[in-house]
Amino acid sequence: MSRITALNVNGKKLQVDVDSEASLLSVLRDELSLTGSKYGCGEGQCGACTVLIDEQMVRSCITPVGRVAGRRITTIEGLEKDGRLHPLQEAFLKADAMQCGYCTSGMIMSGVALLNKHSQPNRDEIISHMNRNVCRCGTYQRVLAAIELASNRLKQTREAVR
Amino acid sequence: MNSEHYFEDSADLVELDRYELFEGPAYRFQFKRRDFIKFFGGGILMIMPLTNLLAQEGQRETGDSGRGESNQRVPNEIGAWIHIDENGGVTVYTGKVEMGQNIRTSLTQVVAEELRAPVGSIRLVMADTDLTPFDMGTFGSRTIPTMAPQLRRAAAATRELLIDLAAQQWSVDRSSVRMVDARFFNHDSTRSLTFADLAKGLKLVRVIPENVQSVQPKDWIIAGTSVPKVTGIEFVMGKHQYTSDLKLPGMLCGKVVRPSALNAKLVSVDSKPAAAMGAVVVTDGNFVGVAARDQLSATRAAAAVRAEWKADTQPSNAELFDLLRKTVESRGDGERRGQGRGRAQGSIADGLAAAEKKLEQTYTIAYIAHVPLEPRAALAEWKNDKLTVWTGTQRPFGVRSELAEAFHLPEEKVRVIVPDTGSGYGGKHTGECAVEAARLARAAGKPVKLVWTREEEFTWAYFRPAGVIDVKSGIKNDGSITAWEFHNYNSGSAGIQHRYDIPNQNVQFHSAKSPLRQGSYRGLAATANHFARETHLDELARLVNMDPLDFRLKNLKDERMRAVLGAAAKAFGWGPRKMTPGQGIGLACGFEKGGYVATCAEVTVDRNSGAVRIVRVVEAFECGAVVNPIHLHNQIEGAVVMAIGGAMFEAIQFADGKILNARLSRYRVPRFSDMPLVEVLIVDRKDLPSAGAGETPIVGLAPAVGNAIFNASGVRLRSLPLAPKGLVT
């Protein structure tokens, strides 16, 4: 069993000492107290554990921590920049895109991954990208609205910069 | 520990069906006046005795507020309390649980309304058995109709007391005191006082006078508006701590060694290999579990335990519906074997004799799972013989009782705290995970956190009951229903009664022996009963070539039901229309727990592939005066989405004591791609008391979709789920 001793999380190099086979999710939650990423199914089906690895959407519950050592890991806790929420976090609040909130961080991380690679997705693209994130409370329509809201916000910001 | 007593008798859970609504707590709260002061410190404490509430509940329909002098003794049974501390902070204590229905927000709103204070200035302490008054549980859509009026009255009484105190300080008449944004002003606004100014130095415990007047819904300015989720920011930042996120110093992680099958008994166990790995291993009765320094170690240690289990042969899906009919049982509460429990009026024989057309059909409903995204979790700590358990449950006081019983403790030695929870839908009424964590923690001598896996959640929790429903009816050619006989086997009696005007009826629920553990689920049996009834009505309408909407209206006098039907039909554009092949529309309506619902659905059916798609849903809902429109909208949309699962594809597969599809990859829940366009219409009746909305919006979808599939394809589906593998004909 090899050990992993350092991880790059939310822009910081953090010391750990964990079995390389341990899931990234358990290391984030139990060792680093980053509990925003949730356990929902343990098989990459519900998306509650979604984090970004080098901007890519990854299900941390089925990702052995050994595979992501040395790569850039971003969790929900790392989205806020300089005390300001990510536009998608704001959009979730505005669209009331949650009920119990357990899926919310995973939804937001998946949505951020989409907006990172495709800033103006159409509805079908959003649905196909988000389809492996489950909201059992059924707020899908509001999550779609939130992603579209954030996408429009990002577009306006870019146009203002131009 | 003998685990039997908390796993057994799933039938008791189904009984929630009936006692959920009517039974008051048989419980005496132990605080005395001086304890209150000791506990809360200074300030003002306003107590709502439960007797007030019960009286008020009885009078709700007439609007009589009751009269009489306030009783200044501290009552034995307390429903709610509000505390204003010496700094002016307002804290409301309620035993209700927040699990996504947003009652933390709506209860805050109604208190803010009465106190004329900003929403942000009010804090709610919820579901902590040491801090909050007894509450039977958060289920049955009862928070808004019962807890909200209690808190409104408590807050109104607090406001009136504060006005009295302000008037006393200024030696003026109370009618000259005005209250704006949590401040009191004298007649010309030259002087003002805050809550803190008034509460400072006081140790005042007051019981709410019976004649207190709360603000009427038509005059609401904070309640009745779309206040955003009060803790929303914590969720979008990932900061909210659910039970599974909690950590205590020295805490171990737990893992239960599960039996080989449901109902299996432990024959032998060898725990040495697990103990050799450094884990704490507990074997007690039928319970085997481990605790270790982290989750991976606990999982490995549990896998190393060699346990042998023995179970009898058990039934499977294939024989389920026969079994439910065959095992109809007597419940010893007046129900005689085979006769059921329900209501009869007129004569079915006469009704059938008067009928020009008759119909007899059977409908079936599968077991389904709640699949709360946060699985059961508990963190248990023993300290000086007192047990504290944090856990996500809808019944904190019920779980406290379970723990007290399991460990032979008096209830005051057990504290249950429920962090705002990752949903329940009726699936978190029980405390098995709490008991397991506490058992491991006792053995370990350290706090233990136990989080069920998804597979455990699917297997060792409980299901929405399966059922068989037989319907026999008669109608005249003009569409009037003359006879209605309805027998529900096992699924339950919620929503079994209806609003149609039928002279001859016999409507009965028959308990049966369920092969799987079953219990409450959002809406209980109302989904099953509405599915059978509203599908059957659609069949009757076709028999006499009537439009399904006209047919329902012909048999309905209830104005509230007619209003939601009319609203949904209008927005949907119900009526003759040009349809493309494979396109179909259907509707259904219903009433349960004080709420009225009507649902219209449009589907497309691809006759080649069998693919069924729900394209559009319009749902109208009326639940009296609306407390928070945006959250009500969200609840209704959510109920429609959840209903799609049970209507279209969710079903538990089981055989010989094993759940065969206990994973999200094998049990399909609604996803983004299943979403129709959902339009919600809220009929706001400010003249009527607010009813709950967590459940009833779920009941209309399945029959509306089934009826639409018939309209599209000519295929009548009478089993839920309707089309797990598409339309197979």
Taking an 8 Å cut-off on Cβ atoms, the answer to whether A30 and B373 are in contact is no
Asked if residue B414 belongs to a domain, the reply is: yes
Provide DSSP, B468-501.
Answer: EEEEEEEE-TTS-EEEEEEEEESS-STT-S-SB-
**Are B111 and B153 spatial neighbours (Cβ–Cβ below 8 Å)?**
no
Half-sphere exposure of B241 (CA within 13 A, CB side): 12
Whether B336 shows a pLDDT value over 80: the answer reads no
SS3 B94: strand
How does residue B338 score in pLDDT terms, banded at 50, 70 and 90? Answer: low
Considering the domain architecture, whether residues B520 and B627 belong to the same structural domain is answered as: yes
How does residue A157 score in pLDDT terms, banded at 50, 70 and 90? Answer: confident
Q: How far apart are CA B480 and CA B553, in angstroms?
A: 10
**Are B262 and B517 spatial neighbours (Cβ–Cβ below 8 Å)?**
yes
Query: What confidence tens digit (pLDDT) does each residue in B82-107 have?
Result: 999 999 999 999 999 999 999 999 99
Whether B180 shows a pLDDT value over 60: the answer reads yes
Considering the domain architecture, whether residues B260 and B120 belong to the same structural domain is answered as: no
Domain ranges across chain A: 3-78, 87-161
Asked if residue B24 belongs to a domain, the reply is: no
pLDDT score for B729? 66
* Amino acid (1-letter code) at residue B283: T
What is the residue-averaged pLDDT of chain B?
Answer: 90
Query: What confidence tens digit (pLDDT) does each residue in B668-693 have?
Result: 999 999 999 999 999 999 999 999 99
* Amino acid (1-letter code) at residue B79: G
Task: Report the complex ipTM.
Answer: 0.98
Whether B7 shows a pLDDT value over 60: the answer reads no
- Percent pLDDT > 90 in chain B is 83
Q: Which CATH architecture has domain A87-161?
A: Orthogonal Bundle (1.10)
Q: Give the phi and the psi of residue A48 in degrees, each rounded to 5.
A: -65, -20
- Identify the domain boundary among B384, B419, B451: B451
Asked if residue B17 belongs to a domain, the reply is: no
Asked if residue B234 belongs to a domain, the reply is: no
pLDDT score for B6? 29
Chain A residues lying within 8 Å of B253, measured CB to CB = 30
pLDDT score for B10? 32
pLDDT score for B339? 61
pLDDT score for B331? 53
The two domains A3-78 and A87-161 share their CATH topology (first three levels equal): no
B contact test, residue of A73, A98, A100 with most B CBs within 10 A: A100
When pLDDT is averaged across residues B142-156 and rounded to a whole number, the result is: 91
Considering the domain architecture, whether residues B647 and B511 belong to the same structural domain is answered as: yes
pLDDT score for B62? 27
Considering the domain architecture, whether residues B356 and B389 belong to the same structural domain is answered as: no
Considering the domain architecture, whether residues B714 and B670 belong to the same structural domain is answered as: yes
Q: How far apart are CA B107 and CA B124, in angstroms?
A: 8
Query: What confidence tens digit (pLDDT) does each residue in B698-725 have?
Result: 999 999 999 999 999 999 999 999 999 9
Chain A residues lying within 8 Å of B241, measured CB to CB = 35
Q: How far apart are CA B280 and CA B570, in angstroms?
A: 64
Q: Which candidate, B448, B452, B444, B450, places its Cα nearest to that of B251?
A: B448
A/B interface, count of CB pairs below 8 Å: 173
How does residue B32 score in pLDDT terms, banded at 50, 70 and 90? Answer: low
pLDDT score for B49? 75
Considering the domain architecture, whether residues B516 and B609 belong to the same structural domain is answered as: yes
Q: How far apart are CA A139 and CA B635, in angstroms?
A: 9
Query: What confidence tens digit (pLDDT) does each residue in B246-284 have?
Result: 999 999 999 999 999 999 999 999 999 999 999 999 999
A contact test, residue of B373, B448, B637, B668 with most A CBs within 10 A: B373
Q: Which candidate, B685, B624, B684, B628, places its Cα nearest to that of B119?
A: B628
Asked if residue B6 belongs to a domain, the reply is: no
- Identify the domain boundary among B204, B228, B252: B228
How does residue B24 score in pLDDT terms, banded at 50, 70 and 90? Answer: very low
Taking an 8 Å cut-off on Cβ atoms, the answer to whether A104 and B235 are in contact is yes
Give yes or no for a cis peptide into B721 (omega within 30° of 0): yes
**Are B691 and B141 spatial neighbours (Cβ–Cβ below 8 Å)?**
yes
Considering the domain architecture, whether residues B604 and B659 belong to the same structural domain is answered as: yes
How does residue B31 score in pLDDT terms, banded at 50, 70 and 90? Answer: low
Q: Which CATH architecture has domain A3-78?
A: Roll (3.10)
- Percent pLDDT > 70 in chain B is 89
pLDDT score for B17? 39
pLDDT score for B50? 67
Considering the domain architecture, whether residues B403 and B440 belong to the same structural domain is answered as: yes
Q: How far apart are CA B482 and CA B492, in angstroms?
A: 25
- Domain count for chain B, please give it: 3
Considering the domain architecture, whether residues B186 and B303 belong to the same structural domain is answered as: no
- Identify the domain boundary among B392, B418, B451: B451
Between residues 448 and 477 of chain B, which touch chain A (CB distance below 8 Å)? 451, 453-455
Taking an 8 Å cut-off on Cβ atoms, the answer to whether A45 and B665 are in contact is yes
Considering the domain architecture, whether residues B177 and B64 belong to the same structural domain is answered as: yes
Q: B530 lies in which domain range? A: 327-368+463-720
How does residue B341 score in pLDDT terms, banded at 50, 70 and 90? Answer: confident
Query: What confidence tens digit (pLDDT) does each residue in B544-593 have?
Result: 999 999 999 999 999 999 999 999 999 999 998 899 999 999 999 999 99
Asked if residue B14 belongs to a domain, the reply is: no
Considering the domain architecture, whether residues B386 and B249 belong to the same structural domain is answered as: yes
Widest Cα–Cα separation across chain B: 84
Taking an 8 Å cut-off on Cβ atoms, the answer to whether A108 and B236 are in contact is yes
Asked if residue B21 belongs to a domain, the reply is: no
Provide DSSP, B96-136.
Answer: ---SSS-HHHHHHHHHHHHHT--GGGEEEEESBTTTS----
Between residues 285 and 344 of chain B, which touch chain A (CB distance below 8 Å)? 294-296
- The reply to whether B239 touches chain A by the CB within 8 Å rule is yes
Distance from CA of A20 to the nearest CA of B (A): 11
Strand partners, B433: none
pLDDT score for B69? 29
Considering the domain architecture, whether residues B404 and B273 belong to the same structural domain is answered as: yes
CATH of the domain at B254: 3.30.365.10
SS3 A7: strand
Whether B133 shows a pLDDT value over 90: the answer reads no
Asked if residue B726 belongs to a domain, the reply is: no
Query: What confidence tens digit (pLDDT) does each residue in B600-627 have?
Result: 999 999 989 999 999 999 999 999 999 9
